[in-house]
Amino acid sequence: MVFTISRRSPSGRAAAAAAAVALALAPALAAQELCPCPPAPPPPPAWTGSLGLSYLATSGNSETSSAGFTTDWVRQPTPWGLELHAAGNRAEADGELTAERYYAAARGRRALGERFEAFAGLSAELNELAGFDSRTVVEAGGLWKALVGPVHELAFDAGLTWTAEDPVAGPSDDFAGALAGLAYVWHISKAATFSERLVGYPSFADSDDWRLRSETALEATLAGSWALRAGYQVTQDNQPPAGFEKTDAATSLSLVWRRE
């Protein structure tokens, strides 16, 4: 019986180790040379929002002027978020005030999953020409996202409210109620967006004393962060103060700056 003992020289072992390392790193090096990885995209901004301004004036046979603004800012819940909204408009015709409304609202949000949120908010409105000096609403409830994009977004919200009103004439009033609404966004293209916000406010004190608000907008990008927005808002108050109409409507055309 014959035994053979083979010994590899130190230089041979080093060469074999180097070859093994080269074989292991070859695919990664080749991929890096052929297709360098692009840098990771920056995270989305914490806040997104917009500011819209409108103005119209006429002179001659009739003198009219109208001005308005609207601004919206949103911090997505991670898990806490916040929505801020403010709007105002004023119009005159031949020196007589024909419209004046100011509205502001804030809503805190808490994500409860991918499609569910809890919220609590506060809103205040001044509109003497609609019959009240002030209207304040405290709200709390939940929201469910039925569609999350990228083309269509649809969410339903519902909750309880407490409303305090100070009418132009008569005593102040406050009562408990509810809200039920939807928010829909259709991204028609990269340059055009349609949105609808519809919300109803029933009263627990009087079933006939309900309100409905609809806000419709079509926005088209002009250049960069600028866009043109056409809006239409309708408010229905089923039991307005005596001497005032149930329905108010406003049409607007605004130049909008957006932060996305």
Give the chain's domains with CATH numbers: 48-259 (2.40.160.40)
Write down the pLDDT at residue 46: 85
Region 16-21: mean pLDDT is 56
As a whole-number percent, the residues of the chain with pLDDT over 90 amount to 71
Residue 10 confidence (pLDDT) above 60: no
For 190-212, the pLDDT digits (tens) are 999 999 999 999 999 999 999 99
For 88-108, the pLDDT digits (tens) are 999 999 889 999 999 999 999
Of 177, 105, 118, the closest CA to residue 145 belongs to 118
Residue 156 confidence (pLDDT) above 90: yes
Write down the pLDDT at residue 61: 80
Residue 8 confidence (pLDDT) above 50: no
Q: What kind and span of H or E run contains 238?
A: none
Amino acid 106 reads A
Of 59, 66, 56, the closest CA to residue 98 belongs to 66
For 235-258, the pLDDT digits (tens) are 999 998 888 999 999 999 999 999
Region 178-183: mean pLDDT is 98
For residue 23, give the 3-state DSSP assignment: helix
Neighbouring CB atoms inside 10 A of 78's CB total: 8
Q: What is the pTM of this model?
A: 0.81
Q: Which residues of 140-163 are buried (b: 16+ CB within 10 A; e: fewer)?
A: ebebebeeeeeeebbbebebebeb
> What mean pLDDT, rounded, does the chain reach?
88
Residue 43 confidence (pLDDT) above 80: no
Pairing state between β 80-93 and 226-237: unpaired
List of residues 6+ apart from 122 with CB closer than 8 A: 105, 106, 136, 137, 138, 139
Task: Quote the CA–CA distance of 144 and 131 in Å, as a whole number.
Answer: 34
Q: Token pair 């800012």 is at which residue? A: 73
Residue 25 confidence (pLDDT) above 70: no
